[in-house]
Structure 1
Amino acid sequence: MLDVRRLNLLRAVVTSGSITAAARNLGYTPSAISQQMTLLEKEAGIPLLERIGRGVQPTAAGRLLTGHADTISRTLAAAETALADLRAGRTGRLSIRYISSIGPTVVAPALSRLREEHPGVQIDLKLIDPEDPLPTADKDRADLTIMVGSGHSNPPGIRLVHLLDDAYCAVLPSGHRLASQRVFDLVELAGEPWVGSEPPGPCLVPIADACAAAGFSPNYVATSEDYATAQAFVAAGLGVCLIPRMGLGNRHSGVAIRRVRRPEPVRTIYAAVPELTLAQPALRTLLDALKDAAKEE
């Protein structure tokens, strides 16, 4: 394999017209340049220079490699510039996976800030399956996956960054007997028919655990994996449900939203980030923006 440094020395010799002139321009001794040219000719398996008086001129092979040396030098310079831009966060690509319920309130404003501070970074943004977020984060190798904590250990090489705690609220028909109270104990809903608002998975765990702590299991008479549909079912009088505060951006006019306590179900939102990508400036900006957006909610 040809040595790139020696190719650059060959280009300097050919451009300067002699080994002595190249050595003077580069700050080397003529013998050091001659030694490197001898090694390069051994690598090439063909003479590259021929002496003309006190100088040298390239052979056909020497001219060929000199042209390639110039191309390689420009390519390496471009690569170094591109790498510097990537390190500084001026260019690159971030793949982001998120759950839909915090898209409008947290993800959107964070992406706006990312665009402002790193306009050259491309964004690959996709929804994830909330039922199994960590395997998705591990297999997809996204740069950042926003997910609900599941209580399971995270895959090796993945760091979980806490973003916010999102409390569940009771969603009641507007004429419900508890609608007049600002807050009530969760056990008050023990005998009610329930509308399921969450799919199986991490988002359902806080509801099941809180109800179990209050001494009952919900009696689900209808299921929906969509918060808007769940609210419509409640407004129609099918039952009551719990929806996280972040999922109540579009409230149905026929429901009442109330706090519950003893206990208050809470889901924890994390950003799952591969350890190797944490040093990227654009990713650090996005994490800071997500945390700031979460604080405002």
Structure 2
Amino acid sequence: MIDVQRLRVWQAVVASGSVHAAARHLGYTPSTVSQHVKLLARETGLVLATRVGRGIEPTAAGLRLAEEGSEVISSLGRLDHVVSDLRDGRTDHLSIACFASVAQTWVPEVAERLRHELPGVVLEVSISEPHGGRGRRAPDLEVASEAPDEAGSTGAAFVRHDLGLDPFVVALPVGHRLASADEVRVAELADETWIDNVVYDSPTLRILVEACRAAGFQPQFAARCDDHQATLGLVAAGLGITGLPSLAAHRLPDGVVAVPLVDPVPQRRIVANQRHLTAHTRASAVALEALQQLATQVRE
């Protein structure tokens, strides 16, 4: 069995670029680091590094071992987290993975419900990030968005709960010609300057672009920002307009108004994927019920 501490030391050598640098970062002597590396090479039967001048250079096998070892160390980090909770008397926890607008608008109310009904529960929230980092728990609930016409693809480890549809609005500066309208036809925005609030390909961006294409034009983006709140700040500054789900427009900065979009009505489906292994827990049930009730408010 591979010694985990030696694996950690080897990862430090690869990340630091040298034995001496790794020794400084870890608080070890260079000879101690070198000894860990030699023992790890003996354990694995691999050539981890080759001598280059007065230093070493990781081999392809050494780099692969350092990379693959991250998953093992992350798993041990999660186990450390569990042990810490048990030692401190915290025997229940809930991990939620979600996108930013859910974290800002729904998670505080979910947390309040949990605090009221299960005062000892430990809540962990991951926003727009994959789970698997050191100490991070696998999600008990994943809140995700998808296009309404997409076939849901929940993995075998989860049970899917449809929370409903979230229609889009257009965010406009207060002085915009359409700012006082009750609703805006998508075609009326064909000549506008747009600001992308996603940057990376996502269901939200695809839904908006498809709505524009259905109205006969391709949106022209003058700026891209990977945060919808920062994007709304750019709208307030007059750099352009943006289209986003109504949940993401829950908190508008001064100088911005949100108007519903029609013809067509772009909308996303919000789903909650509940992990089978923890679905029986009271924490998971309470959080799911809270999410379902909050989603009902969006539809009303």
TM normalised by structure 2 equals 0.61
**Identical-residue share of aligned pairs (%):** 33
Tell me the equivalent position of 1:26. none
Tell me the equivalent position of 2:208. 207
Tell me the equivalent position of 1:287. 288
Structure 2 counterparts to residues 1-297 of structure 1, below 5 A? 91-129=91-129, 141-149=138-146, 151=150, 153-200=153-200, 201-297=202-298
Over 3 Å counting, the alpha-carbon distance change for 1:250 and 1:135 in structure 2 is: same
In structure 2, C-alpha distance between the alignment counterparts of 1:178 and 1:224, rounded to whole Å: 23
What code does the residue aligned with 2:284 have?
A: L
SS of the equivalent of 1:203 reads: helix
What code does the residue aligned with 1:258 have?
A: V
In structure 2, C-alpha distance between the alignment counterparts of 1:94 and 1:249, rounded to whole Å: 25
In structure 2, C-alpha distance between the alignment counterparts of 1:181 and 1:125, rounded to whole Å: 37
Over 3 Å counting, the alpha-carbon distance change for 1:248 and 1:217 in structure 2 is: same
In structure 2, C-alpha distance between the alignment counterparts of 1:126 and 1:114, rounded to whole Å: 17
Is the 1:110–1:293 Cα contact (8 Å) retained in structure 2? Answer: no
Residue 242 of structure 1 and its aligned partner are, at CA, apart by: 0.7
Is the 1:163–1:270 Cα contact (8 Å) retained in structure 2? Answer: yes
Structure 2 runs not aligned, ≥5 long: 1-89
Over 3 Å counting, the alpha-carbon distance change for 1:182 and 1:161 in structure 2 is: same
RMSD: 2.7
Is the 1:114–1:289 Cα contact (8 Å) retained in structure 2? Answer: no
Larger Rg belongs to: 1
Residue 211 of structure 1 and its aligned partner are, at CA, apart by: 1.4
Over 3 Å counting, the alpha-carbon distance change for 1:142 and 1:180 in structure 2 is: closer
Is the 1:232–1:252 Cα contact (8 Å) retained in structure 2? Answer: yes
In structure 1, C-alpha distance between the alignment counterparts of 2:138 and 2:273, rounded to whole Å: 10
Residue 188 of structure 1 and its aligned partner are, at CA, apart by: 0.7
Residue 135 of structure 1 and its aligned partner are, at CA, apart by: 11
In structure 2, C-alpha distance between the alignment counterparts of 1:238 and 1:119, rounded to whole Å: 46
Residue 294 of structure 1 and its aligned partner are, at CA, apart by: 2.4
Over 3 Å counting, the alpha-carbon distance change for 1:134 and 1:206 in structure 2 is: farther
In structure 1, C-alpha distance between the alignment counterparts of 2:284 and 2:203, rounded to whole Å: 25
Is the 2:236–2:253 Cα contact (8 Å) retained in structure 1? Answer: yes
What code does the residue aligned with 2:247 have?
A: M
Is the 2:93–2:283 Cα contact (8 Å) retained in structure 1? Answer: no
Is the 2:103–2:127 Cα contact (8 Å) retained in structure 1? Answer: no
What code does the residue aligned with 1:159 have?
A: V
Residue 95 of structure 1 and its aligned partner are, at CA, apart by: 1.7
In structure 1, C-alpha distance between the alignment counterparts of 2:258 and 2:181, rounded to whole Å: 10
Residue 183 of structure 1 and its aligned partner are, at CA, apart by: 0.7
In structure 1, C-alpha distance between the alignment counterparts of 2:115 and 2:95, rounded to whole Å: 14
Residue 251 of structure 1 and its aligned partner are, at CA, apart by: 1.4
Is the 2:171–2:235 Cα contact (8 Å) retained in structure 1? Answer: yes
Structure 1 runs not aligned, ≥5 long: 1-89
Over 3 Å counting, the alpha-carbon distance change for 1:281 and 1:256 in structure 2 is: closer
Residue 213 of structure 1 and its aligned partner are, at CA, apart by: 1.8
Q: How many pairs does the alignment contain?
A: 204
Tell me the equivalent position of 1:71. none
In structure 2, C-alpha distance between the alignment counterparts of 1:159 and 1:254, rounded to whole Å: 42
SS of the equivalent of 1:204 reads: helix
In structure 1, C-alpha distance between the alignment counterparts of 2:110 and 2:96, rounded to whole Å: 12
In structure 2, C-alpha distance between the alignment counterparts of 1:134 and 1:294, rounded to whole Å: 24
Is the 2:204–2:244 Cα contact (8 Å) retained in structure 1? Answer: no
In structure 1, C-alpha distance between the alignment counterparts of 2:222 and 2:157, rounded to whole Å: 42
Residue 140 of structure 1 and its aligned partner are, at CA, apart by: 6.5
SS of the equivalent of 1:215 reads: coil
In structure 1, C-alpha distance between the alignment counterparts of 2:194 and 2:252, rounded to whole Å: 18
